[in-house]
Amino acid sequence: MPLTPSLPLEFAVDAPEQCHARAHTELEGGVVRWGSNHKVASVAECCEACSKQAQSAKSEREACNVWVFCADAALCGDKVGQCWLKHAADPSEPISRGGGVKTPWTSGALLSQPAEHYKVGRRLQRAARQQEPLTVLTSPEMMVGLRNETGTIELLTPHSETQPHFSFPLPLTDAEVHLGNGQVLDRTPDGFHHLGDLTLRATPRGQAESLCSTVVDGQVAAAAKAKAGKLTPGATPMDWSHSVDVGLQRTPGRRRAGDCPLQVTRTLTSRRGAVEDDGTGRSGGLELWFKVHNPSTTTEVTLGALGISMPFDQDFVGRTLVQVAHQCSFVEPFLGMGGGYVQVTRATGGGPVLLLLPAAGTEFEAWRPLRNGEDAMRLDFMYEMSYELLLHSDAYAKGEWRHAQPWNAPTSRVLPPGASAEYGLRFVLAPSLELVEATLLRAGMPVAQPLPSPVIGGDMISAALVLTLPRALVPTQTQQQLTAPTIRVEPSGALTVGPCATAGLIEGAAVRLRCPLLPQASRKGAAGRVRLTIEFAPDGTYRPGGPLRMSVHVFVSAPARELVRLHGEHGATKAWLPVGTPDPWHRDGAFFGWDAAANAPVTQERRVYMSGLSDEAGAGAQLAIAVKQVGAPDLVQIGRLEEFVNHTLFQGSHPDRGRFLQSSSDYSVRLSLLYWTDAMNDASSEAGKAATAAAPELANVCRSCWPKRCSWMDCWSEEHSLESWRAYNYPHVTAVYWSLYRVARWHTPQLTRRDWRWYLRQAHSTSMALWTCGGDPWTKKVGGGIGTTQWGLMVGSIFELVLTDLQREGWHEEARELQQTVEKRMAVWLKMPFPYGSEFAWDSTGHEEIATWMLRFGKLTEARQTLDAVTAYVSASPHWAYCGSARRWWDFTINGATMRGNERVMHHYAAALNSIPIFDHALRHPDDAWLWRLAACANGGTLTNIRPDGSASMGWHGDPDLLSRDAYSADFGVGFYGHWKHAGSYLSCTSAVGWLCVGCDLASARPNEALTLANGSACTTATELRITPRDGFRRKLYLAPLGLLMQLDGATFDGVVLTLQPSPSTAVVRLKPALASSTHTYLTLLADGDGAASAASGADGGARRVRLRCSAPCGFEPTPFPASVNGYVYRVRLGSSEGATLEVSAVPKA
């Protein structure tokens, strides 16, 4: 239900429309007249001054098109009336230096041409700069720019009249990327990897291995001198080929050490025509081929590794968010062997999407980061890493990666004397992310879809692998007699693949198969990573290159409910520091993170915030325990959570603020409860002895660096630990209070010692303290929405839950205060070209809160823009580690046990947090199967971080020599919150996949319909379905045929029988008490579609009309809530310890 703003989200400005005035905003530009000696009386006069100056300017570059006026007398002081006149290259989209209610400036722009004129003009200028040092050619889908010296690919620009400036690879040079100290991005010298470069490892028989590369010292000059590149034109400008001997050199590091035992010729070809693959291997489009040749006449050579550089433009260093959005991309591999692909997606999430596909006989085996100076790109927390795609990886698997389990079986290739081998990549554009799979089919590639997701709970019985085969893989004469592909499971005991049956066809498919996947997680050692290797057309007659092997990667976990239970028990026992435990920092009575390597809680980490109960890593454990109780309550855990609140978290009436995480005077949340002092540094003092006894490892570290040589993460002073400016710390504490409010208010009998009112008031006060006590890390100023307060916050969606409950309880004044605070923050977001802004040039964590509020306030365009940015880095590939896994790469350095600089974190908390906007949009668009599958991946991946003993990891290491969970749990609790928020059973039916049950098992109640559930036609023909919840909480149930999302507090969903025909659809829903003592439950109904998050009731005017029945002794009772908001709430008397049965019917419209 959209909120009615109580404050204007866009502040009105008294100025003519052509001034494009924006209050509380300071726009950037080159100054053409200084405001310090130019004051005027009003906004309109400043705008007029800009217009007059432009008319008299000597040149266009000196003409004013941006004006900035100091309008707020209270904030401006003696600057009031200053009118700064500026010139921006693109006044239609000028860069903002800052905004928000504390910004005194009002700014605007004057456009002498339509906005699109400026955008296209500036983009054309950028395109010309990019193309100037290159040989630019045309292919059917893209402009291609080759470096004149080396022939490497420096430009891939989709044909577009409005986006001529965009290119997928890293630019050769870019004067707009400022790296500091006057430096700009310049990749022309030696040492940089370019698209077309490669690295290989070759071992002549009886000799030592050689590491060879095209990226060596002197490479550019040698290539320019050799002039080896040959461009061969064809019949049309789109028909051409470019070949070059790449000049491989043996190289220790990047030094030249002689010729490589193997030679490589690189050929880039373009052929006019469509990219459809008809099975002949001669489709149109752009292809890159590498011919690897053994020049020896006597000695065979083993090609132990072959890597192709993938330098796509995911470099955010020196760029603004606007530049990132317009110029950058994310590159993501699906390591599916012959069915694999590399996906390159624009940072906005918009199309087209570049796909690199394996040509016949080529397999995508591994993904290797270029570490230890292999690439000269400047590593920074705003640049993930340079990578190469490995087509062979055996040499690494036997060497540097020998302790890891690779994604695919490593391979090598033996080249006899004089022999050659060819490897090829195809470049194809998909119109959008949603159409990536359709494009794969069109290009002759198989598509695999593990449904409902690649993470399969051990109790699931209806998971399946849907294989869609293109016409190129199924010759016409055999389509009717298709032999099911061979599917090999490794390890063999992990799951059973049932007989594959034909499923409904979709456009572009010749055959579609549904193969049941039955996990065997109960078998010892069976759960975990599982690889399915699928071989199509084993006789090899369908196309050149022989059979196509495809690997699909799934994860078989313990049942979700069991994992949630185990994690709660572990956190409340092994990771709990009991009240009364000696601790000089008074952290007794608290939940801590876990170190699996030491099998102990993390109580003395040198990065003190991790053991100081604040920050994401320090507060993660308490956050996970708290939200777990809302859906899976446990009386012991609730008791310890209350102990934590009263003994360790909140100061209350205690006179010593320093003993607690949160102040009772202003509700500020400190940076850490762990710190270091001069007294502790003296090992012989009482304070020093206490610190040594409680944390000997920390004491050793701090005494070696205190007071001036400690890292910014280590050994904080007590003064620093008491600072409250970090806005990110407030959602965690708010969530603890809100969870206990829900447990106290929404369960019968009450499960807490304190009254629900106290917890709700604490949640509200902490939410407000975000605004009054959060602030800037550099100036230490707090209050008024400055600094970190203005950005979207991790777990920030908790504030929307608090606001809803304040409104529902009739706490109007508190609700108004919180809403107005949110509106002030939203006013900042809405001034940004992209509302998902961050204090960094790019981040993947603020989207969750921002999308939540945009939807709640009815800002659907901005919400979708934020979702699109999420989907840019959250892929839907059939690989459990990548599917739904958000992009994070600096977090192991900040919070991990294993730290090696930038490294991809698989299923870090950002993945589960970002499942929230994906689920929210799926509920608004329930016919979008792609969103449901993406949501399932992003949400379910969190469960792979929980170990069999219930302890958790912050995520999986993505480097191929590790590919394992990190030992620290760290900030796992933040991801657990994201998982919890939408964990549930979601039933939908779409033409793309048929019936899909996310978080649940699905079966037809009528055996003759069982095989048709995967058909799109079954959406209208199915008659009766059985849904069995398999998520960890059983608290949410969505039924698309009813258009309803149902939510329980005090009970769980046990099963559903859904009757679809005859109309109206009716669901018989079984409920079970959440606890043996539970006597009542609250049932909240919400509508889907455009009415998502609005009330659904049987009353006239409801977004959905439904009828509820509950047979005695079950019955309905009045709710205690004075207001109905964001869902219609029923109080249900269960009437039996066995639970109750509800009948829910959709009421046809009159």
689 C-beta neighbours (distance < 10 Å), count: 15
Residue 116: HSE in the Cβ half-sphere, 13 Å Cα cutoff: 3
Q: Tell me which DSSP letter residue 169 carries.
A: B
- Would you state the pLDDT for residue 997? 96
Same domain, 1011 and 1139: yes
What mean pLDDT comes out for the span 579-588? 97
**pLDDT at residue 886 is higher than 60:** yes
Same domain, residue pair 1001 and 1030: yes
The answer, yes or no, to whether the previous bond of 499 is cis (omega within 30 of 0) is no
DSSP secondary structure letters along 87-131? E-S-TTSPPEEEESTT--EEEEE--SS-HHHHHHHHHHHHHHHHH
Whether 1036 and 1135 share a structural domain = yes
- pTM to 2 decimal places: 0.94
Q: Is 174 within the bounds of a domain?
A: no
Q: Which of 418, 156, 153, 202 is nearest to 307 (CA)?
A: 202
CA–CA gap between residue 236 and residue 137 (Å, rounded): 11
Say if residue 565 is in the same domain as residue 499. no
Instruction: Give the pair of three-digit tokens for residue 494.
Output: 């992990």
What DSSP line would sit under 803-855, residue for residue? HHHHHHTT-HHHHHHHHHHHHHHHHHHHHSSSTT--SSS--SSSHHHHHHHHH
In a 3-state reduction of DSSP, which class is residue 1058?
Answer: strand
Instruction: Check whether residue 305 and residue 212 sit in a common domain.
Output: yes
Does an H or E element contain 552, and which? strand 548-557
At 253 the pLDDT is 77
Beta bridge partners of 27: 96
Residue 753 C-beta-side C-alpha neighbours within 13 Å? 11
For 46-62, the pLDDT digits (tens) are: 999 999 999 999 998 89
- 525: confidence class by pLDDT, cuts 50, 70, 90: very low
Is the separation of the CB atoms in 146 and 154 below 8 Å? yes
Residues 1053/1140, Cβ–Cβ less than 8 Å? no
Flag the least confident range among 286-290, 505-509, 1007-1011, 1119-1123: 1007-1011
DSSP sequence for 619-666: HHHHHHHHHHTTTS--HHHHHHHHHHIIIIIB-TT-S-GGGSSB-TTT
3-state secondary structure of 744: helix
Q: Mean pLDDT across the stretch 155-183?
A: 89
Q: Which of 117-121, 333-337, 891-895, 935-939 has the lowest mean pLDDT?
A: 117-121
1052 backbone dihedrals φ, ψ, rounded to 5°:
-130, 155
Q: Is the pLDDT of residue 1103 over 80?
A: no
Residue 1099 confidence (pLDDT) = 35
Q: Give the single-character DSSP code of 430.
A: E
| Range in 354-363, 552-561, 1014-1023, 1049-1058 the model is least confident about | 1014-1023
Tokens for 497? Answer: 């693949």
CATH classification of the domain holding 77: 3.50.4.10
User: Does a structural domain hold residue 426?
Assistant: yes
CATH number at residue 498: 2.60.40
**Residue 844: inside a domain, yes or no?**
yes
What average pLDDT score do residues 938-945 get? 97
**What angle do helix axes 615-628 and 730-745 make, rounded to 10 degrees?**
10
pLDDT at position 360 over 60: yes
How far apart CA 243 and CA 228 sit, in angstroms, is 8
**541: CB partners within 8 A, 6+ apart:** 475
327-to-163, 315, 846, 865, 1144 alpha-carbon distances in Å: 10, 10, 21, 16, 50
Q: Give the pLDDT of residue 1102.
A: 44
Q: Please list, in sequence order, all residues whose beta carbon lies within 8 angstroms of the beta carbon of residue 586, skipping any fewer than 6 positions away.
A: 648, 659, 660, 673
Q: Are residues 431 and 497 in the same domain?
A: no
pLDDT score of 833 = 80
pLDDT at 475: 60
530 pLDDT higher than 90: yes
Tokens standing for residue 40: 């005027």
Residue 218's alpha-carbon distances to 151, 214, 244, 249, 353, in angstroms, are: 15, 10, 17, 11, 35
Query: pLDDT-based confidence at 1020, cuts 50/70/90?
Result: confident
| 241's tokens | 């080929």
Burial label, 120 (beta-carbon count in 10 A; 0-12, 13-18, 19+): middle
- 538 CB neighbour count, 10 Å cutoff: 13
Mean pLDDT of 686-701: 97
> Is residue 512 domain-shared with residue 639, that is, in the same domain?
no
Of 86, 112, 138, which marks where a domain is finished? Answer: 112
pLDDT digits (tens, 9 = 90+) for 834-853: 888 887 778 888 899 999 99
571 in the same domain as 425: no
CA distances from 430 to 440, 506, 612, 874 (A): 8, 17, 47, 16
- Number of domains comprising the chain: 5
Q: Could you tell me which residue, 1068 or 384, shows the higher pLDDT?
A: 1068
pLDDT of residue 1: 64
Burial of 684 (0-12, 13-18, 19+ CB in 10 A): exposed
pLDDT at site 288? 98
DSSP conformational letter for 458: T
Q: For residues 1033 and 992, what is the distance between their CA atoms, to the nearest angstrom?
A: 28
Q: Does 3 map to a domain?
A: no
Assess if residue 477 is contained within a domain.
Answer: yes
pLDDT of residue 479: 46
Q: Are 592 and 621 in contact (CB under 8 A)?
A: yes
CA-CA distances (angstroms) from residue 43 to 47, 111, 492, 989?
Answer: 6, 17, 73, 55
Per-residue confidence (pLDDT) for residue 505, from 0 to 100: 78
What confidence tier does 621 reach under pLDDT thresholds 50, 70, 90? very high
Q: At what angle do helices 929-940 and 972-982 cross, to 10 degrees?
A: 140
Check residues 114 and 996 and name the one with the higher pLDDT.
Answer: 996
At 648, give phi and psi (nearest 5°): -125, -40
Of 628, 925, 1044, 984, the residue nearest 620 (C-alpha) = 628
Helix (H, G, I), strand (E, B) or coil at 765: helix
User: Is 750 within the bounds of a domain?
Assistant: yes
Residue with tokens 């064809």: 234
Give the three-class secondary structure for 556: strand
415, burial (CB in 10 Å: exposed 0-12, middle 13-18, buried 19+): buried
* Alpha-carbon gap, residue 875 to 883, rounded angstroms: 5
Last residue of a domain, one of 500, 523, 556: 556
Q: To 10 degrees, what angle do helices 798-808 and 730-745 make?
A: 40
Q: Is the pLDDT of residue 435 over 80?
A: yes
pLDDT value of position 524: 47
Which H or E run contains 1100? none
CA separation for the pair 432, 1043 (Å, rounded): 28
Q: What residue type is assigned to position 277 of the chain? A: D
Taking the C-alpha atoms of residue 845 and residue 916, their distance in angstroms, rounded to an integer, is 11
Could you report the per-residue pLDDT of 332-341, keeping only the tens digit for each? 999 999 999 9
- In which domain, by residue range, is 258 found? 198-435
170: left (phi over 0), alpha (psi -120 to 50) or beta: beta
Q: Are residues 103 and 243 in the same domain?
A: no
Domain assignment present for residue 696? The answer is no
Q: Is the pLDDT of residue 12 over 90?
A: no
SS3 of 292-351? EECCCCCCCEEEEEEEEECCECCECCCCCHHHHHHHCEEEEEECCECCCEEEEEECCCCC
pLDDT of residue 6: 76
Residues above pLDDT 70, as percent of the chain? 95
Domain boundary among 68, 97, 112: 112
- Whether 578 shows a pLDDT value over 80: the answer reads yes
| 303 and 267 belong to one structural domain | yes
Identify the H or E element spanning 569.
helix 560-572
- Given pLDDT bands bounded at 50, 70 and 90, which one contains residue 478? very low
Query: Does 612 share its domain with 632?
Result: yes
CATH number, domain at 794? 1.50.10
CA 1051 to chain centre: 31
Arithmetic mean of pLDDT, 977-993: 95
Residue from 1027, 1022, 1030, 1016 nearest 987 by CA: 1027
For tokens 């990190």, name the residue: 966
Specify the pairing of strand 210-213 against strand 600-601: unpaired
- Please tell me the distance from the alpha carbon of residue 6 to that of residue 169, in angstroms, as a whole number: 46
**Which pLDDT does position 95 carry in this prediction?**
81
Task: Please say whether the beta carbons of 21 and 834 come within 8 A.
Answer: no
Q: Is residue 125 in a domain?
A: no
pLDDT at 1101 over 70: no
**548-557 and 455-457 beta bridge pairing:** parallel
**209 to 200, 204, 481, 993: CA distances (angstroms):** 10, 7, 48, 49
Task: Give CA 250 to chain center in angstroms.
Answer: 39
Q: Which amino acid is at 726?
A: R
pLDDT of residue 540: 45
| pLDDT mean across residues, the chain | 91
Same domain, 368 and 328: yes
Contacting residues for 361 by C-beta, under 8 A, at least 6 apart: 422, 423, 424, 544, 545, 546
Range list of β-strands (E), 953-999: 956-957, 985-990, 994-998
Type of residue found at 383: Y
Whether 91 shows a pLDDT value over 70: the answer reads yes
What's the mean pLDDT in 1060-1083? 93
CA distance linking residue 201 with residue 302, whole number of Å: 8
| Confidence tier at 442 by pLDDT (50, 70, 90) | very high
